[in-house]
Amino acid sequence: MTAIDPRTAGSAVDKREDAPDALDDATSTKKKRGKKDKKPTGIALLENPRKKSFAARFRNDWPLLLFALPGVIYFVTFHYLPLLGNVIAFKDYQPFIGILESDWVGFENFEIIFNGDPQFLNALANTMIITFLQLVFTFPAPIILALLMNAMMNQTAKRIVQSILYLPHFLSWVVVVALFQSILGYNGPLWHGMAGLDLGEPNIIGNPDVFKPLLIIQDIWKSAGWGTILFLAALAGIDAELYEAAAVDGASKWSQLWNVTLPGIRPVIILLLILRIGDILSVGFEQIQLQQNAVGIQASEVLDTYVYNNGIVAGGWGESAAVGLVKGVLAVILVLGANKLAHVFGEAGIYQGADKA
């Protein structure tokens, strides 16, 4: 048997004890090196899709682009190409000689706007009043209806109410105006009822003083039910656990409405509000045109009917095109401003800049 030197035995034991530590250090170093050398795969590659070339993105998305093609053709044909006709605003347009042969007049057609034409100012004032009434009464109506229907416990009654509210949306303005005239007009049920009670013979349809409130009532009756679809969908997306947590904290139904429900549908409200602001100078041409003869031009003329009456009817093509062009430019500015304001308050709005996408 070989004798073991006690001086070397201790160092051998120390080496064996240090071996696991060295192995751990080597393993950790290898893992760190592996993490550095490992290339992103799977979901990581999808985090920066803009790094892909246009050809690669096109190969991946061509089925979606093919489905979108009919819509693109429609908008280009009927919405973007007609914008070229705005050149009429800078010409003395004569239909019989065409746009190209008509004489250029510069900004002469815009004088009707900046020189304070009485008819234009009247149309602008009526437009702003009706727009204000629509924002105050028509816009919140579907929100209120959606909140009320969302609180209904009886699902059968809820579906019946939804169907009743949705139906007017599918009626044309010709039918809607005819219904209101048959009910509120001369020789209608209201007229006979008030005349039978010796309360006078009301002339609601032909009364200029009630024309604007009547427009709002018609608009709410026709469009509010359809608008509730979007808000009901937004309400369905709110997590039910938020209501449970609020109830545990002792929040009342009213408190839950203000602190859970409305914040949950706020993005949808802001999105629709921005879209409505874009149409702030368009208040319903067909609806107003159908009732204009009953109440007169002074009470019912708006920018859309002004463009129609002075352009197509009276032949003032250049002036009407100038009004329409200014109206379109203001609409773009209002949408961009409202969208930027939504970003300031932390909402997505209609779109986000490249730095926020």
Most confident option among 33-37, 74-78, 278-282: 74-78
Report the candidate in 251, 267, 271 with the shortest Cα–Cα distance to residue 259: 251
Residue type (1 letter), 19 = A
Is residue 130 in some structural domain? yes
Mean pLDDT confidence for 191-206? 78
Residue 131 clears pLDDT 90, i.e. is over it: yes
Is residue 357 in some structural domain? no
Q: Which residues pair with 103 in a beta bridge?
A: 92
Q: What is the DSSP letter of 77?
A: I
Answer with the residue of higher pLDDT: 39 or 288. Answer: 288
Residue 214 clears pLDDT 90, i.e. is over it: yes
Q: What is the pLDDT of residue 352?
A: 67
Which residues span the domain enclosing 249? 119-344
Is residue 83 in some structural domain? no
Give the chain's domain count. Answer: 1
Is residue 194 in some structural domain? yes
Answer with the residue of higher pLDDT: 301 or 9. Answer: 301
Answer with the residue of higher pLDDT: 17 or 175. Answer: 175
Q: What is the pLDDT of residue 222?
A: 94
Is residue 90 in some structural domain? no
Alpha-carbon distance of 357 to 75, in angstroms, equals: 25
Q: What is the pLDDT of residue 337?
A: 86
Answer with the residue of higher pLDDT: 50 or 292. Answer: 292
C-alpha dist (Å) from residue 330 to 39, 148, 278: 50, 36, 8
Q: What is the pLDDT of residue 25?
A: 52
Q: Are 159 and 168 in contact (CB under 8 A)?
A: no
Q: Are 315 and 328 in contact (CB under 8 A)?
A: no
Is residue 60 in some structural domain? no
Q: What is the pLDDT of residue 152?
A: 84
In whole numbers, what is the pLDDT of the chain averaged over residues? Answer: 81
Mean pLDDT confidence for 265-285? 86
> pLDDT, tens digit, for every residue of 72-115?
999 999 988 988 888 999 998 888 888 888 889 888 888 877 78
What totals of helices (H) and strands (E) does the chain contain, helices first?
18, 2
Most confident option among 2-6, 138-142, 198-202, 295-299: 138-142
Tokens encoding 355? 């730095």
Residue 291 clears pLDDT 60, i.e. is over it: yes
Q: What is the pLDDT of residue 76?
A: 94
Alpha-carbon distance of 241 to 118, in angstroms, equals: 58
Alpha-carbon distance of 243 to 255, in angstroms, equals: 10
Q: What is the pLDDT of residue 356?
A: 53
Percent of the chain with pLDDT over 70: 83
Most confident option among 28-42, 48-62, 119-133, 276-290: 119-133
Is residue 243 in some structural domain? yes
Is residue 353 in some structural domain? no
Q: What is the pLDDT of residue 23?
A: 44
Mean pLDDT confidence for 48-60? 74
Mean pLDDT confidence for 117-125? 89
Residue 298 clears pLDDT 80, i.e. is over it: yes
Q: What is the pLDDT of residue 13?
A: 43
> E strands of the chain, at which residues?
91-94, 102-104
Alpha-carbon distance of 297 to 304, in angstroms, equals: 13
CA angle 136–140–144, rounded 5-degree value: 140
- Give the CATH number of the domain where residue 328 resides: 1.10.3720.10
Alpha-carbon distance of 317 to 322, in angstroms, equals: 9
> pLDDT, tens digit, for every residue of 6-16?
444 444 444 44
> pLDDT, tens digit, for every residue of 303-347?
999 999 988 888 888 888 898 888 888 888 888 888 888 887 777
